[in-house]
Amino acid sequence: MEHNQLSASVMAAIRSGRKIDAIKQLREESGLGLKESKHIVDREMVAYRASNPHLAQENRSSHFPTILVIVAIGLALYFYLAGSS
């Protein structure tokens, strides 16, 4: 099965990184088995990421602010509890 044969819903799941949803949708639409569907989705995800290299950078940096907030809250809680003892 080629890229141009995949449905819009399968491609949307691939583009948004929802691998399991893409595999399920492909299996429902094509009647392929799990192994074949997974292989196709994996191949398409690799191709999509290769053609959009900025996505890898966005995904890596998108968690930094969240981690920073968690660390700040943890430190504030630690100093609050340590100061009240």
User: Burial, 29: exposed, middle or buried (Cβ in 10 Å; 0-12, 13-18, 19+)?
Assistant: middle
Domain boundaries, the chain: 1-52, 54-85
pTM here is 0.61
- The pLDDT tens digits for 35-45 are 999 999 999 99
Residues 26 and 10: beta-carbon distance below 8 Å: yes
- The pLDDT tens digits for 3-27 are 568 999 999 999 999 999 999 999 9
Q: Quick one: pLDDT at residue 11?
A: 94
* Percent of the chain predicted with pLDDT > 70: 85
Q: Quick one: pLDDT at residue 80?
A: 92
Q: What are phi and psi of 53, to 5 degrees?
A: -65, -25
Q: Quick one: pLDDT at residue 56?
A: 55
